[in-house]
């Protein structure tokens, strides 16, 4: 590259196809390599362009798959957050219920002790 910068600069534009490679149709017959359809030939003049065309189309597929994976991951994370919020809410409700039951139990025990003390007082007074 350092010895022939002019040749490299002239060769690079010839590698990238014209037009939109994403809409092109590609075919693979039974016993041959992947070959571009008629739309691919409209945008490519040589083998390098054709190879770049195929690479860009493959990259688009990978990019689309990554986007769908990212979207699915975002949805799963939001579902997880919602489940955590629901769980935390249920825990808070259960803790409030437990506190109420504890209070009622303490009040019942205190009432029982008060009644027991009153009964003892009445029986010893006779």
CA distances from 79 to 45, 91, 114 (A): 50, 18, 52
The tokens of 106 are what?
A: 């303490």
Q: Which residues contact 52 (CB under 8 A, 6 or more apart)?
A: 15, 16, 17
* Average pLDDT by stretches of 10, the chain with 126 residues: 59 56 55 56 65 75 90 96 97 97 96 91 80
Q: Which pLDDT value is given to residue 58? A: 76
Q: Which pLDDT value is given to residue 73? A: 95
pTM assigned to the model = 0.49
Mean pLDDT (the chain, rounded): 78
Q: Which pLDDT value is given to residue 51? A: 72
Domain extent listing, the chain: 5-91
């Amino acid at each position: 590259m350092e010895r022939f910068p002019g040749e490299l600069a002239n060769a690079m534009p010839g590698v990238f196809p014209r037009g939109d490679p994403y809409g092109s149709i590609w075919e693979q017959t039974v016993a041959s390599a992947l070959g571009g359809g008629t739309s691919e030939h409209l945008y490519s003049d040589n083998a390098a362009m054709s190879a770049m065309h195929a690479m860009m189309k493959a990259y688009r597929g990978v990019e689309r798959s990554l986007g769908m994976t990212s979207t699915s991951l975002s949805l799963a994370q939001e579902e997880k957050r919602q489940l955590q919020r629901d769980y935390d809410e249920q825990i808070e409700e259960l803790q409030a219920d437990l506190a109420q039951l504890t209070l009622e139990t303490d009040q019942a025990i205190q009432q029982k002790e008060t009644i027991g003390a009153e009964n003892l007082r009445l029986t010893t007074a006779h």
